[in-house]
Amino acid sequence: MVRRHELTDAAWVRIEPLLPGQPRRGGRWADHRTVINGILWKLATGAPWRDLPERYGNWKTVYERYRRWAADGTFDRLLTHIQVHDDAVGRVDWRVSVDSTIVRAHQHAAGARKRGTGGTNQALGRSRGGLTSKLHLAVDGRGLPLALVVTAGNVNDCAVFDQVMTGIQVPRPGPGRPRTRPDHVIADKAYSSRAIRAHLRNRRIRATIPERADQQAGRRRRGSRGGRPPVFDPAAYRRRNVVERCINRLKQWRGIATRYDCEDGRVPSRAVA
C-alpha cells in the first residue's frame, strides 16, 4: 500500500535507474525506495529526523543518504532527467515566470558552523520576520520548476535574477548545447529594472514586466529624455500565476514552508537531543 506522500510505482520505475548503485565494499544498502519515502515523509511533515517512523529504517541512514545525494548532485540529476524528457516530447512551455518567496527559519536552522565572514553559507538573513531564507524560482508555462536559487531572506530579487536565469539549462536528448534561453519571461514589479530589461533584450527574450510607479514618474519627469515606456501585455502577465501556484504547492510541504535544518546539512545537537 502506498501511503500519502510516498512514491507511486510509476514514479519509482522512472527514477530507479538514476540512483547510485550498491557500493562494492561494506554491507548492503538500505532499499533506496524506502529511504526516499522516509525523506518525503520528513519534508512533508517537518518533523525532526529522529522522529522518523520505524517503517523507513534507521533515521540516521535516511538522513545521511539525503545529505549525500544533495551534495553529489543526485537530486539535480533527477530533475534534469525529467526536464530533458519533457522537452524532448514538447511538453516544456518556454514562457518562463520568475518570482521569489520567503521561508521562515526555525531557531535550529542557525546552528551551522560559520565559515568565512558572517556565516553567509547558511543563506540566512534578518528581515521583519526575523531569520529568513528566500527561494528564487523560475518555472515553465505549466508551473514546473526550471531553476531555483536559495539566498538570505534580505536579498533583493533583482540581484539574483541573473543567477536564476543562468540556472535554466535543459540538456538536449542528443548532441548539442543545453537550452538556456526562454521564449518569454514574465515577472512582477520587483524585477523592473533597466539592467534586467537590457539583459533580456540583448538575449532576444520577450519580457512582460510591469513598470514601478516611481519609474513611471521619473520617466515622465524627464519628458522626451525619459524614453518610451516598456511594452506591457496584460494578457501575458496573467499567466504569471503559474509561479505563484508552484510556490503554493511547494509550501504544502512543511519542511519547505519552514526551514529547520542548517545550510551545511549538519543537524544541531539541540535539535535532536
Q: Using CA of residue 39, residue 45, residue 50, residue 51, what is the dihedral sign?
A: negative
* Architecture of domain 73-272 in this structure: 2-Layer Sandwich (3.30)
Higher local confidence (pLDDT), 187 or 172: 187
**191 and 162 Cβ atoms separated by less than 8 Å:** no
**200 and 98 Cβ atoms separated by less than 8 Å:** no
* CA distance linking residue 249 with residue 50, whole number of Å: 26
Residue spans in the chain of domains classed CATH 3.30.420 = 73-272
Q: Is the pLDDT of residue 119 over 50?
A: no
Q: Is the pLDDT of residue 26 over 80?
A: no
Higher local confidence (pLDDT), 173 or 67: 67
- Using only the alpha carbons of the chain, give its radius of gyration: 21
**48 and 258 Cβ atoms separated by less than 8 Å:** no
Residue 206's pLDDT band, with cuts at 50, 70 and 90, is very high
pTM: predicted TM-score of the whole model, two decimal places: 0.84
Q: Is the pLDDT of residue 147 over 80?
A: yes
DSSP symbol at 135:
E
Task: Give the cell for residue 35.
Answer: 529511504
Give the strand pairing for 184-186 and 206-208.
parallel
